[in-house]
Amino acid sequence: MVSGRLREHDRNQIALDLIEWAQLDTSTTMLGFCAGKLISPNKITDWAREDEFFRVAYDIAKACVGERREKKLSDGKLHVKAYDLNAAVYDRFLKEERQEMAKFEALLKFVEEQNQNPEVIEKFDALMDLMKKAQERKIEEINKSVDNKS
């Protein structure tokens, strides 16, 4: 059994090691790096949140691994289920698209719920009436101004 304090890590060196590792043909999951270096995945993601240099290395490594996973999928060397389960982890573009879609769907749901709320409908109708009256007054002012100039 191992006892004592866990070893300290040189974050910058690990960032460089991560990029080097991600370029290997055998690198297909970020967990592989963590297991090989005996570093907690939590530590890696914490460092990516805390440190700009590490975050860039982390993003580059995920892009390299993601591209490799996509190629392996295309070549039939990676099962579609294994790819799909983690696609958004490695593909930043897919992740952003999914986040935007989730926000859009939540907004649609909110609007739909609000449109069925009688209080909201009443306030909307009142606002529309006010706008209509203001528009009618403005048209009257313009017509009077035109009549006075004639």
pTM of the full predicted structure? Answer: 0.63
The burial of 87, by beta-carbon neighbours within 10 Å (0-12 exposed, 13-18 middle, 19 or more buried), is given as middle
pLDDT at 57: 98
Give residue 50's pLDDT band: very low, low, confident or very high (50, 70, 90): very high
User: Which pLDDT band, with edges at 50, 70 and 90, does 8 fall under?
Assistant: low
d(CA 150, CA 148): 6
Contact between 21 and 36 under an 8 Å Cβ cutoff? The reply is yes
Residue 2 has pLDDT above 60, yes or no: no
Give per-residue pLDDT as tens, 112-145. Answer: 887 777 887 788 889 999 999 999 998 888 888 7
